Structure 1
Amino acid sequence: MLPEVIATRYVTPLREGGSLPGIVEADDLGTYVVKFTGAGQGRKTLVAEVICGELARRLGLRVPDLVAVELDPVIGLGEPDQEVQELLKASGGLNLGMDYLPGAIGFDPLAYEVAPDEAGRIVWFDALVNNVDRSWRNPNMLVWHGEPWLIDHGATMIWHHNWPTAAGAVLKPYDASDHVLAPVGPAIAPAASALAPLVTRELLEEVTALVPDVWLTEEPGFASPDELRQTYADALLARSGNVHERIVLGPPSADGPSRAPGWLTGRPQGQEVR
């Protein structure tokens, strides 16, 4: 299980995207960016954050520490924003917190240099988990102490929104043409040689075991949380061996719509992001 803390104060909402995460203080004196189970994307977003965030960490990529945040809905009674009140009331129990990185700023590929080797590792990882949301439009990377950190993995493993398609999704290519690090010339082959052997069943079982049972229960077609964990591990293991062969790096779509799903961006599907 993830380390567990108790929310003591809701500080402020973060209105980027469609999930309305918020900054929350906890009883360990830590400050966290919290994603809530009551948000429109639901608990699968939190499952993806845990599995992919912790997998990235074990592959040597920088990811903020994750915790499970126990939230009492009463914490929202004093909130003046009705939308925030409703979200907190709907999110009693365990939610997901990401360590708040004070002073971190959004990654700008024009201002911060990432070496091709590191870019290759990030692109390979995003291909493994089918991350549709680390584009030049929305990098989902921070710069902290001069280093890039990966955040927001809720739009990964899209196949878990329709499990009957998972087997086919494993074989699909990954279009990295709009990836924020595509212009760097990411070194994909060395990344695959270094990282693919690390993605073992044992590692995936360790990572999926961190997901709280409550986020995995009552999934149609699965008898237990452990059966669902096994299916996540199966899909990622099957994809890891040769996903590098299916990474597409073509010309970026300089002025087109975001390829992220509408449920993630908070915009109607296909609406352009300028």
Structure 2
Amino acid sequence: MTVETAPSARAARTRRRAGRAGLTTLAVLASAISVFPVLWMVTSAFKTRDTVTDGRLIPSEVTFDNFVYVFTDVPFARYLWNSLLVSTVVTVVALLFHSMAAYALARLRFPGREAIFLSIFATLLVTAPVVLIPLFLVVRELGLLNSYAGLIIPAIFNAFGIFLLRQFYVGLPREVEEAAIIDGCSHWRVYWNVVLPLSRPILAALAVFFFLANWNSFVWPLVATSDQDLTVVQLGIASFETQYGANWNYILAAATVAALPMLALFFTFQRQIVESIKTSGLK
């Protein structure tokens, strides 16, 4: 019987190896396709524009003048500061409020808890363009246009963060919290001293998501601000494009500067992102 089953076992191992080889090849191709635009952006950021002189095409040359122009002739450092300020404040405040709301929805018992959670979750089905005009009208009535508050406050609430944190808290063992309550801790102290320290991986992942989303925000800053001093980095990059053409060498140089911090942030916290996805599924 062993002799008869040996060929089938070898065939099964061969099929598994072939399957793994196919998946590896597919992963390498997908990675190459994903990385190629980034490499093209970085290499093109160090090149001049192709010019035509006396009917002759003068090819591009390697230069650092594109980056010099971005930081000297344009207040790009101010744009970076605005995006950094808005993204940092939104991330910190959103994590605090979202974690408190998620803990209440996961652990506290009160009438209408499930209905509130379903209502918050249902807002994920509403796309941003649908609420853009009503949001603009509300912000205008509150007098928050052309201000940091107008950029920050509307971006704080995010149903995805509450949902992800709530699912994470549902999976936490209750024994630790119950022991703290028996020792005399209130719900606030349990949340602050027990739950938050256990939430560091999921909070780190959400911090990356929130920071990236606000760093790359374009539509709402375009609608809510017209002051040059409040221009964020994505609007600053778009300012290099004119009605009749685009200075792609400057655009790519500015995009490279704006992308490098985000790439570093993602690679630093990629393990937390993967862990948060694995541990916060539907319960």
TM bucket, shorter chain? under 0.3
More helix by share: 2
TM-score (norm 2): 0.24
Name the structure, 1 or 2, with higher relative contact order (CA <8 Å, separation 6+). 2
